Amino acid sequence: MGNIEYRRPYYTKEMFERRREKVKESSLYKELEGYQNAGLSLWLNGEPSTSYGIANYVREESDYMRDYRLDGNQKVCGIGFDRIRKDNVKERR
């Protein structure tokens, strides 16, 4: 019997550029870019992130919940995106 060899997919620079353009054209990226430029912090799964990082990741994995972070004066100071695992969601009856 032969060994199974895993090969990583081959991506060209052009493929990466096309993907980057699609992400930057998305409404989520544009929205988050505005928040980031206004000084709000952005988080992805509890880690600091960027508008591009979030838009790129959420584009692939769609089960995310937006969480608004407040400062001591109850003003929004950051926005987090946390992945929702289906095993943590209870069905409605």
Point out which residues pair with 81 in neighbouring strands. Answer: 44, 66
State which amino acid sits at residue 57.
Y
- The domain ranges of the chain are 13-86
Q: How many CB atoms lie within 10 A of CB 59?
A: 14
Point out which residues pair with 67 in neighbouring strands. Answer: 80
Where helices occur in 1-93 by DSSP H, the ranges are 13-25, 27-37, 51-60
H/E stretch holding 89 = none
pLDDT digits (tens, 9 = 90+) for 30-83: 999 999 999 999 999 999 999 999 999 888 777 889 999 999 999 999 999 999
Nearest C-alpha neighbor of 51 from the set 75, 71, 70, 34? 34
